[in-house]
Chains A and B, each alone.
Chain A
Amino acid sequence: MTTEPEPKLICIDGQEIPFQHGQTIMDAALAAGIYIPHLCHFPGITPQGNCKLCTVEVNGKPLTACTSPAADGQQIRNNTTELNEARKALTQMLFMEGNHICPSCEKTGNCPLQAMAYHLGMLHGRFPAQYPLRQVDASHPTIMLDRDRCILCSLCVRASREVDGKNVFAIAGRGIHASLIVNTSSGKLADSDIEPSDLAAKICPVGAILIKEHGYDAPIGRRIFDQHKISEIGLEKEIVARVKSDDQ
């Protein structure tokens, strides 16, 4: 006689959800339609736990949901005032550590960082503005790299290696000195083999990597977060699909 194996469950904010062996807490939550705020996670790409926005309390201990394996019986707190305030503080740091001038950015309305700040109710930057001096790389004919807005999520690094089969980007340096670099001898995007159809060129959750000449294809008011909230599950594919380029 065989017995059905008991379904394995984790509990997020009082709701029990099933998971499969090998899934992370983030995977299980997304599959169950539960939103855990995140900026550096993208389905199908190896998680790295960079942005820390997906921090949840697992049996009382803070862990990044995108890198923590789901395990039977975990009691997880996610949508709590304390965690959302901590997420807001992290988002404020991301804004203050870069140069994020939404009114002058092509990505406005299509920007997950901005939408995250809306989601968390961010009204101001809270921390001293750093106004860092960073390099813009406009060398590539169709792709723009504006490091002012880079939040070092490394999605472009991972997408280029894992999906595009290239190795266009890397993160150099550590801590406040970390920066996004291009893996060419000149360090310029023009000398890399990136193409506008690459996932790496489309995956950026801020306005750091942009397809040239298409920034205003969709007018403000008809952009993705004019029509959706960032808490809607499965929006990542939509965000990437909406990035237009001439070769499509």
Chain B
Amino acid sequence: MTNKPKLKLATTSLAGCFGCHMSFLDMDERLVELLEQIEFDRSPFTDIKQLGPCDIGLIEGGVCNAENVHVLRTFREHCRILVAVGACAINGGVPAMRNHYSLQECLEEVYLNSPDTVNPHIPNDPELPLLLDKVYPVHEVVKIDYFLPGCPPTGDAFYSLLKDLIGGREPQVEKGRLRYD
């Protein structure tokens, strides 16, 4: 082990399913090796809530509400390199299927008209982040440096991305390993 300072890595899930985070853990024992060279900052893995200055930020999920916008902008401010990870971050993914309908139609379908609804009402607690009119890809809100497609990207794809970034190289996704599903 060298005395080189560890790279700071932050991750978050916006409008995603945490599948990308689960796939990140599929790196299995290679995580031990990576942790020699990186340390986590804010991430669901650490439960650290405040984001400090970071080298790498991984964004899972698209942008569906005001809080997502805030978190994404905070990540952009604090992360030297920001990577959109997975189908939802890259093009909205499955949550973007709601873009077919108006926000009002979505809320009414889920909270008023759904056949198993008890005490139907549209949630209006002021603590709830306001939904955006549509789900957006993250690169339409902030500048994104690299993209890692896949639903989810495989553990191998995460490993290859992080090894490239740790090594100071441009991340390369081999064409033969590219998957969107």
Residues on A facing B (Cβ under 8 Å): 95-96, 99-105, 108-109, 114, 117-119, 121-125, 128-129, 131, 133, 220
Apart from A101-B87, A108-B181, A123-B90, list 6 A-B contacts with CB within 8 A.
A101-B93, A123-B149, A124-B91, A124-B139, A131-B100, A220-B181
- List 23 A–B pairs whose Cβ atoms lie within 8 Å, in order of A's numbering: A96-B91, A99-B97, A101-B87, A102-B87, A103-B93, A105-B181, A108-B180, A118-B179, A119-B175, A123-B146, A124-B91, A124-B137, A124-B139, A124-B144, A124-B149, A125-B91, A125-B137, A128-B140, A129-B137, A131-B92, A131-B96, A133-B100, A220-B181
Asked whether, in the complex, the Cβ of A121 is within 8 Å of the Cβ of B173, the reply is yes
Asked whether, in the complex, the Cβ of B91 is within 8 Å of the Cβ of A129, the reply is yes
A108 CA to B179 CA in the complex, in Å? 10
Asked whether, in the complex, the Cβ of A102 is within 8 Å of the Cβ of B180, the reply is yes
Asked whether, in the complex, the Cβ of B87 is within 8 Å of the Cβ of A103, the reply is yes
A119 CA to B92 CA in the complex, in Å? 22
B-chain residues with CB within 8 Å of residue A101 when the two chains form the complex: 87, 91-94, 96-97
- Closest A residue to B86 using CB positions: A103
A-chain residues with CB within 8 Å of residue B90 when the two chains form the complex: 123-125
A124 CA to B86 CA in the complex, in Å? 10
- Closest A residue to B100 using CB positions: A133
B40 contacts partner chain A, Cβ-Cβ < 8 Å:
no
Query: Does more than half of chain A's interface fall in helix, strand or loop, or is it mixed?
Result: loop
A148 CA to B147 CA in the complex, in Å? 24
Contact of A129 among B84, B92, B97, B181 (CB under 8 A): B92
Asked whether, in the complex, the Cβ of B99 is within 8 Å of the Cβ of A131, the reply is yes
Asked whether, in the complex, the Cβ of A103 is within 8 Å of the Cβ of B151, the reply is yes
Interface size, chain B (Cβ < 8 Å): 28
Asked whether, in the complex, the Cβ of B178 is within 8 Å of the Cβ of A118, the reply is yes
B17 to chain A, nearest CB (A): 10
A100 CA to B94 CA in the complex, in Å? 10
A104 to chain B, nearest CB (A): 5
Contact of A124 among B84, B96, B179 (CB under 8 A): B84
B136 contacts partner chain A, Cβ-Cβ < 8 Å:
yes
B134 contacts partner chain A, Cβ-Cβ < 8 Å:
yes
B-chain residues with CB within 8 Å of residue A108 when the two chains form the complex: 180-181
Interfacial residues of chain B within 115-159, with CB under 8 A of chain A in the complex:
134, 136-137, 139-140, 144, 146-149, 151
Contact of A131 among B134, B139, B149 (CB under 8 A): B134
Interfacial residues of chain B within 46-105, with CB under 8 A of chain A in the complex:
84, 87, 90-94, 96-97, 99-100
- Closest B residue to A133 using CB positions: B100
A131 CA to B96 CA in the complex, in Å? 8
Asked whether, in the complex, the Cβ of B178 is within 8 Å of the Cβ of A109, the reply is no
A114 CA to B9 CA in the complex, in Å? 31
Contact A104-B178, Cβ < 8 Å, known A124-B147, A133-B100: no
A201 CA to B88 CA in the complex, in Å? 30
B-chain residues with CB within 8 Å of residue A105 when the two chains form the complex: 181
Contact A114-B180, Cβ < 8 Å, known A101-B91, A125-B91, A129-B137: yes
Asked whether, in the complex, the Cβ of B91 is within 8 Å of the Cβ of A100, the reply is yes
A-chain residues with CB within 8 Å of residue B180 when the two chains form the complex: 102-103, 108, 114, 117
A108 CA to B134 CA in the complex, in Å? 24
B137 to chain A, nearest CB (A): 6
Asked whether, in the complex, the Cβ of B173 is within 8 Å of the Cβ of A123, the reply is yes
- Closest B residue to A95 using CB positions: B91
Asked whether, in the complex, the Cβ of B175 is within 8 Å of the Cβ of A129, the reply is no
